[in-house]
Amino acid sequence: MSLVFADQKTELRILFVIGSLELGGAESQMLMLVRELTHQKIDCEVFAVQASGALRGAFDELGIPVHCGRYDYTSRKLAKGFQLIRAAWLLWLHARRATVLQAYLPLTNFMGACAGYLAGVDKIITCRRGLGNHQDRHSGWKLFDRIANSLSDVVVVNSQMVAEDTVRRDGIRRDKLICIYNGIDTGRIQRVLPQREVVRQSLGLALGQVTLIIVANLIPYKGHAELIDALSRLLPRFPDLQLLVVGQDRGIMAQLTSQAATLGVGAAIQWLGLRRDVPELLSAADIYVCASHEEGFSNSLLEALAAGKPAVATSVGGNAEMLENGALGVLVNPHAPDELAAAISDLIADPARRAHMGHRARLEVERRYSVGHMAAQYIRLYENK
């Protein structure tokens, strides 16, 4: 089956553009979308500035061509500049064969929009997947983002909060934005839930021992420090409490373990690192915690809700949208370990509330955030000129 644009007989050939194929939110969302589109016989290819990473094998298994920009993140600064120029040229070569180019994340949004424009691609889509805090950290990004926006036919945002932030920061027309929420493979998560006790035993968790979990790479804005602080406030009341920390160290592991030791909570934390069995780990936990200072639309939080886990999350980015302003989970302010501890304490003390909240969240995720629903919205976007 070949899809065609409504007013043309052009076959749909989509080139997805991203920085790498490491395990991350944007990368995982792209993989789910590509897998669904491939099942519907839509031609997809991927261009990755650096084509290595944990997800590369999944694209190979699907038979998706993956083109490499031959960029090396470990190179020296001068070499990186030349490598990016080469990657941009290679991207342009591949873009000439595409009818749709869809890019993710700031750098490759800029590169993809420029390459797509110069290659004459029919439709250029860039994806804004988080608040524009990167512009605050490095002011030069504002120019790159605005150029990418101007060369894009559509900018996809994954929450209404991201849309508002993009309009405020970049002055983009609202009619150029379309909100498509993240999707999730709920079937994969539901299949592993019966393994809860087996997974708990493997983690050394006792029967009935309440367990928290956070799934986020170890980056300062993910709020691990506040969660550790909150844990120190919780342990006097709940001495058997355990915290599972799932995520790759991005440079703050030593700082966090030192904080945990200083606060005397090190024995209550399991540092599990980067894992490919997150659904299984979610099945073992009782409460999910998102302590981030900033989010777009958190994949990890969405995955936890799909697993039927009651959640405590900071009211940042799209978290309030996902939790329906507190109906599907507890919202607290960011940078507030006291509020975080109080919300978690209330849930620990009320198992019936936890069960009700988790059940309702799972049903709502299945209704609103399936991969099929997400893919259908993208297909409509591709078909409409």
Q: Does domain 13-183+370-383 have CATH number 3.40.50.2000?
A: yes
Which has the closest alpha carbon to 232: 186, 198, 267?
267
Mean pLDDT computed over 320-345: 96
Which has the closest alpha carbon to 287: 253, 240, 330, 248?
330
Residue 1 has pLDDT above 80, yes or no: no
% residues pLDDT > 90 (the chain):
82
Rg of the Cα atoms in the chain: 21
- CB contact set of 160 (below 8 Å; sequence gap of 6+): 179, 318, 321
Asked which of 20-24, 56-60, 342-346 is least confident by mean pLDDT, the reply is: 20-24
pLDDT value, residue 130: 86
Residue 4 has pLDDT above 60, yes or no: no
In this prediction, residue 239 has a pLDDT band, given cuts at 50, 70 and 90, of: very high
- The pTM (predicted TM-score) of the whole model is 0.83
**CB 126 within 8 Å of CB 146:** no
Mean pLDDT computed over 61-86: 88
Domain ranges of the chain: 13-183+370-383, 186-368
Q: Does domain 186-368 have CATH number 3.40.50.620?
A: no
φ, ψ for residue 338, nearest 5 deg: -65, -45
167 token code pair: 């309009």
- CB contact set of 351 (below 8 Å; sequence gap of 6+): none
CA 237 to chain centre: 33
279 token code pair: 């659904």
Judged on CB neighbours under 10 Å (0-12, 13-18, 19+), 194 is exposed
Question: Could you check whether 13-183+370-383 and 186-368 share the same CATH topology?
Answer: yes
